[in-house]
Amino acid sequence: MSDLATVESCVPEACASNPGTARAEAGLSGLAVALITFALSVGSFGIGTGEFAIMGLLPNLAGDLGITTPQAGYAISAYALGVVVGAPIIAVLAAKLPRRTLLLALMAVFAVGNGVSALAPDFGSFVALRFFTGLPHGAYFGVAALVAASMVAPNRRTQAVGRVMLGLTVATLIGTPVATWLGQIVSWRIAFGMVGVIGLLTVALIWQFLPMDRVQEGASPMRELGAFKRKQVWYTLGIGAVGFGGMFSVFSYIASTATEVAGMPESAVAVVMALFGAGMIVGNLLGAWLADRDLLATIGGTLVFSAVVMSVLSLTAENPYMLCLCVFLVGSSVAIGPALQTRLMDVAADAQTLAAALNHSAFNIANALGAWLGGVAIAAGYGFASTGWVGAVLAVAGLGVFGLSLASERSARRVA
């Protein structure tokens, strides 16, 4: 197999003029790049399916294990905690591992975690297994994004990252509904077993298509930890953790918003969820394309777009057609994901792995923050439509963090 080491050193000045420079220097054909990207996106599809399918299977899980549905929700929190904790720890400890080896190990852990989750004898062991399964999540996405970006010219990096993350967005449209359906008509255990099989398939695809790579010179845990010393890394993570929370505020309660506010039948919830998934796919692809043309404008523009769309959702949620349109547009706000991933590559200097992995820790913090604040607004009596206002406030707050990031960057340039 060819060696990716040379592609890791391809800098913007050397590669920007020729989109094929990066892959040519690594001895990779266009087909090889496509197959590697496909392998990585299958992994993201499996992770997305495993993360979201449980949300539709909580009643089945609760009934089988003899607990309440709210108690079953702790399994979702355990997985998210695993993501937040696992991403930085794995990125630091695995600093001296080749990226191919690390990806294989991460996906193997994910596959085993889901397979054993399907066999969990009681709820306590299931929660522990969900935490374990969440550990490789952030590190996988971070390393996969770095590998994808390394195979293309700098002016196409975000689109390469977007193609890897496409698996995650497709999971919301196809993988999650299929897994939920199987889990409901057969057993929730079947759903997790299926995700485990997808994980094993990813291991086989990465083994087959991703070339061996060399560990970068000077790589070490201490160098990765250097990411925490860079203000722009913290600002970028803050944008994701706060600004992206609005999407989760709306998504977490969208079923109740559709049925109780818009008066839609329960059978229409699946359609609303599909629209959200379709919006994520479109937003992921369009956002990546825009970010490769103007990264900072895409980040700021997406936050403004999110604030406007979520405000409109709150104002028009009683109209089923407007709600469906807004749900699609809220889903498309995922456009900020690939852009923030690329921004972290730009500001992390030589601590690339840790910074890239932390991006998904930030997104899971956004998930928890958005769902919690949305629940607070509902419990306070403002209704399910108020989640849109919560989302708008979070988007504006994220825009404020973005403004601080730009101001700090300009100030540093003046001093230099």
Q: Are 105 and 232 contained in the same domain?
A: no
The total of other beta-carbon atoms located within 10 Å of residue 302's CB is 30
> Running DSSP on this structure, what letter comes out for residue 215?
P
**Is residue 254 domain-shared with residue 304, that is, in the same domain?**
yes
Q: Give CA–CA dist 413/272, Å, rounded.
A: 46
d(CA 160, CA 100): 17
The pLDDT of 90-99, averaged and rounded, is 85
Average predicted confidence (pLDDT) for the chain: 86
How many angstroms separate the CA atoms of 309 and 306, rounded? 5
Interval 11-35: pLDDT, tens: 343 343 333 444 444 567 888 899 9
Confidence of residue 1 (pLDDT cuts 50, 70, 90): very low
For 292-319, what is each residue's pLDDT tens digit?
999 999 999 999 999 999 999 999 999 9
Please state the pTM of the whole predicted model.
Answer: 0.81
Distance of CA 306 to the CA centre of its chain: 17
Do residue 196 and residue 294 come from a single domain? no
**Is residue 244 classed as helix, strand or coil in its secondary structure?**
coil
Question: What confidence score (pLDDT) does residue 144 get?
Answer: 92
Classify 19 as helix, strand or coil.
coil
Question: How far apart, in whole angstroms, are the C-alpha atoms of residue 328 and residue 3?
Answer: 41
pLDDT(80) > 50: yes
Which of the listed residues 178, 195, 219 is the one where a domain comes to its end? 219
Which residues are CB-contacts of 31 (< 8 A; sequence separation ≥ 6)? none
Q: Domain span at residue 76?
A: 20-219
Q: What is the tens place of the pLDDT at every residue in 211-236?
A: 887 766 666 677 777 777 888 999 99
User: Is residue 5 in some structural domain?
Assistant: no
Contact (Cβ atoms closer than 8 angstroms) between residue 295 and residue 339: yes
Which of these, 135, 137, 136, 141, lies nearest to 163 by C-alpha position? 141
Residue 275 shares a structural domain with residue 354: yes
Domain match, 176 and 210 both: yes
Write down the pLDDT at residue 416. 63
Region 340-361 average pLDDT? 83
| Whether the Cβ atoms of residue 362 and residue 307 lie closer than 8 Å to each other | no
Is residue 14 included in any domain, yes or no?
Answer: no
CA torsion sign for 105, 118, 358, 208 is positive
